[in-house]
Structure 1
Amino acid sequence: MVLEQEGSLTISGAELYTKSWLPDGPIKARLVFIHGFSDHINRYTAIFSHLASKGIAVYGFDQRGWGRSVRKPAEKGLTGPTTQVLSDIAAFLSQPHLLGTPGSQEPVFVMGHSMGGGQVITFAADPNYEPLVKKVRGFLLEAPFIGFSPEERPSWLKISLGRLAGRLLPHFQLVHKVAVENLTRDKHVQVSISEDELMHDTGTLEGFAGLLDRTNDLQQGKTKLGKEGVVRSLWVGHGTADKTTWFEATKQWFEGCAGGVKDRTLRAYEGWSHQLHCDGECSGEFFEDVASWILERAGGETERVAKNEEVPKAQEEVAVPQVLGEGNQRPEAKL
Structure 2
Amino acid sequence: MSSTSRNSFTEAWLSGFDGVKFYTRTYYTASSAQAVLLFIHGFAEHIGRYEWAHAQCAIKGITVFSFDQRGFGRTALDSSHKSKGSAYGKTDLHSQMRDIEWWLKYLRNQNPHLPIFLMGHSMGGALVLAFPTRTTAPPAKESAELLSGVIASSPLVLQHVSTSRPVRFLVDNLSKIAPNMPFDASLPNEFLSRDPAVIAALEADPLVMQKGSLKCLSDMLNVGEELYERDYLNWPKDLPVLFVHGDADKVRVTSFGAAQDLFNRLQAMDKIFETVKDAYHELVHEPDGVKERFMDSCISWILERAARQPSSVQF
**TM over 0.5, yes or no?**
yes
Partner of 1:235: 242
Does the aligned pair in 2 maintain the 1:2–1:24 contact within 8 Å?
A: no
Gaps of 5+ in 1: 316-335
Partner of 2:82: none
TM-score when normalising by structure 2: 0.90
Q: Could you give the per-residue CA deviations for residues 13-37 of structure 1, whole angstroms, max 9, x where no partner exists?
A: 2101100111111111110000000
Partner of 2:41: 35
1:167 to 176, 193, 197: 176
- Structure 1 residue 227 displacement after superposition: 4.8
Which amino acid in the other structure matches residue 242 of structure 2? W
**Identity score, percent:** 28
Which amino acid in the other structure matches residue 98 of structure 2? S
Q: Map residues 210-221 of structure 1 onto 2, 5 A cutoff.
A: 210-219=219-228, 221=229
Q: Secondary structure at the match of 1:75?
A: coil
Distance change (3 Å), C-alpha of 1:126 and 1:52: same
Distance 2:279 2:236 in 1: 32
Q: Map residues 1-335 of structure 1 onto 2, 5 A cutoff.
A: 3-11=8-16, 12-71=18-77, 75-79=87-91, 81-95=92-106, 98-100=107-109, 104-127=112-135, 128=137, 129-149=140-160, 152-219=161-228, 221-224=229-232, 226-229=234-237, 232-244=239-251, 245-256=254-265, 258-259=266-267, 261-281=268-288, 282-301=290-309, 304-305=310-311, 308=312, 311=313, 315=315
- Structure 1 residue 2 displacement after superposition: 6.2
Does the aligned pair in 2 maintain the 1:2–1:21 contact within 8 Å?
A: no
Q: Secondary structure at the match of 1:33?
A: strand
RMSD (Å) for aligned C-alpha atoms: 1.8
Consecutive aligned runs of 4 or more in structure 1 exceeding 3 Å deviation: 71-74, 225-229
| Aligned residues between the structures | 297
Greater length-normalized contact order (CA 8 Å, ≥ 6 residues apart): 1
Distance 2:235 2:201 in 1: 42
Distance 1:154 1:177 in 2: 13
Distance 2:96 2:221 in 1: 14
- Structure 1 residue 228 displacement after superposition: 4.2
Gaps of 5+ in 2: 1-5, 80-84
Distance change (3 Å), C-alpha of 1:274 and 1:285: same
Distance change (3 Å), C-alpha of 1:39 and 1:121: same
- Structure 1 residue 218 displacement after superposition: 2.7
Does the aligned pair in 1 maintain the 2:46–2:68 contact within 8 Å?
A: yes
Distance 1:192 1:234 in 2: 31
Distance 1:134 1:22 in 2: 24
Does the aligned pair in 2 maintain the 1:3–1:23 contact within 8 Å?
A: no
Which amino acid in the other structure matches residue 155 of structure 2? P
Distance 1:205 1:293 in 2: 36
